[in-house]
Structure 1
Amino acid sequence: MLHPVGDLPAGVYWRRRALVLGIAASLLGGGGWLVASTVPTTETDPQVAASSGPAQPSLEAPSLEQVVPSLASVQTPAAPEEGSATASAAPPAEETAAAPVTAAAPDPGQPCTDDMVAVDVLPGAPQATVGSKPTMTLVVTNVSGVPCTRSLDAGLREIVLLDGAGARVWGSNDCFPEVSSDARVLAAGEAVGFPLQWGGLTSEPACTAPRSAPPAGAYSLQGRLDTKVGDPTPFTLVA
């Protein structure tokens, strides 16, 4: 190789060899630069290495929004307006009136005392003819404001005829006494009537004395229920 052999002078062959070597050297240099540019270097920028490395957990404290839930979804009732139904629905405790205490219903089994009843005689007419048989009614009324019970037995009811001086002339139980058991509950203000026909003659208790027609004049009728005696009612006998 160092001593080229050929027909041409030796200088020619040396120039050819130098040209080939130069081309080869250029090719080798360019190839090496290309390879170096494509192969990553092992020394990298610290900032690049930090950003490309695996993510490290953050040690910073969580923000307040992450710890305390948002209050946007919490609905706070609005204060009622003055005079609204909500504001006036519940009055202050000191202004609340106490519930009325219902009084116990009256016991209808309580007895009717003499002060609780009235006894009256209602004649069919304010006057009657001597010797006639007029009709009259004994009326018992509960004048109290509560119901009560009173015995209205026939033996306890009586109508008497009194003359102008107040002397007894006739009694409904003298000659024809009746016996019955009649306990009743009288409502407040209730009145019960018992009609009776008078025979037109005088009488005495036990009906032992002779009977006769009383003369014409001014009389009064008076009712009685056991121990309760009513007020007299004017009555006139005419001839």
Structure 2
Amino acid sequence: MLHPVGPLPAAVYWRRRLLVLLLLLAVLGGGGWLAFTALSGGSGETTAAAATTEASTAAGEPPALARVVPSLAGVRTPTPAPEPAAEPAPASPAPGDPCGDDMIELEVRGPGSVPVGGKPTFELVVTNVSSVPCVRVLDEGLQEIVMSDASGNRVWGSNDCFPENSSDTRTLAPGESVAFPLVWGGLTSEPTCTAARTAPAPGQYALRGRLDTKTSAETAITLG
């Protein structure tokens, strides 16, 4: 093997062997260089990517994933409106308390029809409609009956010309009624009682009662 044998000079065979050896070294060296380059390039890219990420983080920029998917801490959830406070239930009246306007009922009673010039008697009726006894001031100065015509014009008032005063405070049992009679003279009047008083014309009229701040529904009356 070390001493070539053939018709050609020995130098030819040595050159051929040297050329084959050089080609083999070139192939091996080229493969190694490609492998080294591949490994060095991948490691460099990884290092560069890591360096870029670290630089972005150091600069205060959020990571790429955080820029795509928002953080739950940054999502604002609606705040529920506060529920309104419950209003306290009104206190029930106690026995012996004053009779409020909502605890009594007021009504005017009288004949359904009256001849012109007649002198009928009307009644102002006060009833305790609550479930407990209560106290109410029933002074005559707080009582009044007013008559109006079909257009709502005031025709007569019980306190216009003959106002009365008394001191009358009573305890009304549940369901108890008290009636106060009042005679109408059959003539018109006004609060100063200075205008001429005449008999109202025949027609339809309405009576409404009052006890201080409490008023009644209208009661129809016919003059004929």
Q: How does 1:27-176 map to 2 (within 5 A)?
A: 107-123=94-110, 125-176=111-162
Query: How far off its partner does 1:206 sit?
Result: 2.5
1:68 match: none
- 1:216 and 1:236 map into 2 onto residues whose CA distance is 7
Q: How large is the Cα RMSD of the aligned pairs?
A: 1.4
- 2:168 and 2:220 map into 1 onto residues whose CA distance is 29
**One-letter amino acid of the counterpart of residue 191, structure 2:** P
**Would the aligned equivalents of 1:119 and 1:229 in 2 still touch at CA under 8 Å?**
yes
* Structure 1 unaligned spans of 5+: 1-105
2:180 match: 194
Q: How does 1:209-224 map to 2 (within 5 A)?
A: 209-224=195-210
- 2:152 and 2:174 map into 1 onto residues whose CA distance is 33
- 1:171 and 1:211 map into 2 onto residues whose CA distance is 12
**One-letter amino acid of the counterpart of residue 133, structure 1:** K
2:9 match: none
* Structure 2 unaligned spans of 5+: 1-92
**Would the aligned equivalents of 1:108 and 1:185 in 2 still touch at CA under 8 Å?**
no
Number of residue pairs matched by the alignment: 133
Could you state the TM-score of these two structures normalised by the residue count of structure 1? 0.54
Residue aligned with 1:207, SS: coil
Query: How far off its partner does 1:165 sit?
Result: 1.3
**One-letter amino acid of the counterpart of residue 114, structure 1:** D
Pick from 191, 202, 221 the counterpart of residue 205 of structure 1: 191
- 1:184 and 1:107 map into 2 onto residues whose CA distance is 16
Larger Rg: 1
**One-letter amino acid of the counterpart of residue 147, structure 1:** P
| Runs of 4+ with deviation above 6 angstroms | none
**Would the aligned equivalents of 1:138 and 1:194 in 2 still touch at CA under 8 Å?**
yes
User: Deviation string for 1:13-51 (max 9, x for gaps)?
Assistant: xxxxxxxxxxxxxxxxxxxxxxxxxxxxxxxxxxxxxxx
Query: How far off its partner does 1:107 sit?
Result: 4.2
- 1:206 and 1:145 map into 2 onto residues whose CA distance is 41
Residue 233 in 1 paired to residue 219 in 2? yes
- 1:212 and 1:154 map into 2 onto residues whose CA distance is 25
Query: How far off its partner does 1:170 sit?
Result: 0.3
- 2:148 and 2:200 map into 1 onto residues whose CA distance is 11
- 2:212 and 2:222 map into 1 onto residues whose CA distance is 26
Could you state the TM-score of these two structures normalised by the residue count of structure 2? 0.58
Query: How far off its partner does 1:180 sit?
Result: 0.5
**One-letter amino acid of the counterpart of residue 115, structure 1:** D
Residue aligned with 1:206, SS: coil
Indicate the percent of aligned positions where both proteins have the same amino acid: 63
Query: How far off its partner does 1:108 sit?
Result: 3.6
- 1:107 and 1:143 map into 2 onto residues whose CA distance is 14
- 2:165 and 2:142 map into 1 onto residues whose CA distance is 9
